[in-house]
């Protein structure tokens, strides 16, 4: 079996930063996120920590940002539109999920909106 690669949803990164032990087994896994996730992570960090800590978190995770091509971005918005009535997945989540699927990565999250989707590594709180 090949090496499983993970796309880290904002939810997963925040849980990891907050020390959720259920994410400890992913400690050695490289983090891949999009610029949209980085913005969400920084937003949460500014709310939960002081500015200095938020800046440190931003600096650490900005190195993990994957480039999103136009086709992935458009596919993600179409995906979000298709499922929006039954699931309130954000733009950032839609882009990350579609990126993960296209790049044969597992979408690592604990966000209940993703529990039953294919290609998801769902981790509980």
For residue 83, the model assigns a pLDDT of 86
On whether the CB atoms of residues 64 and 46 are closer than 8 A, the answer is no
Provide the β-strand partners of residue 121: 108
> What's the mean pLDDT in 87-109?
95
Least confident of 11-15, 88-92, 107-111: 88-92
In a domain, 125, yes or no: no
Asked if residue 64 has pLDDT above 50, the reply is yes
Domain CATH code at residue 104:
3.40.50.1010
Residue 33 falls within a domain, yes or no? Answer: yes
Domain around 86: 6-18+29-118
Contact between residue 114 and residue 107 where contact means Cβ atoms under 8 Å apart: yes
Q: What pLDDT was estimated at residue 125? A: 75
Minimal CA–CA distance to 45: which of 27, 62, 26?
A: 62
Residue 55 tokens read as 């800046």
pLDDT digit string, tens, across residues 36-58: 999 999 999 999 999 999 999 99
CA atoms within 13 A on the CB side of 85: 1
Contact of 42 with 54, CB cutoff 8 Å: yes
pLDDT classification of 16: cutoffs 50, 70, 90: very high
Q: Please tell me the predicted confidence (pLDDT) of residue 88.
A: 84
Number of domains in the chain: 1
Strands (E), 74-122: 106-109, 120-122
């Amino acid at each position: 079996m090949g090496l499983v690669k993970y796309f880290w949803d904002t939810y997963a990164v925040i849980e990891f930063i907050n020390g959720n032990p259920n994410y400890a087994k992913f400690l050695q896994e490289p983090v891949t996120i999009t610029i949209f996730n980085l913005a969400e992570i920084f937003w949460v960090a500014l709310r939960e920590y002081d500015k200095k800590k938020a800046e440190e978190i931003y600096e650490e995770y900005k190195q993990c940002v994957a480039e999103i091509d136009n086709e992935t971005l458009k596919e993600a918005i179409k995906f979000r539109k298709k499922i929006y009535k039954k699931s309130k997945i954000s733009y950032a989540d839609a882009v990350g999920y579609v990126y993960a699927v296209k790049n044969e990565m597992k979408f690592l999250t604990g966000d209940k909106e993703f529990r039953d989707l294919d290609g998801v590594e769902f981790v509980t709180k």
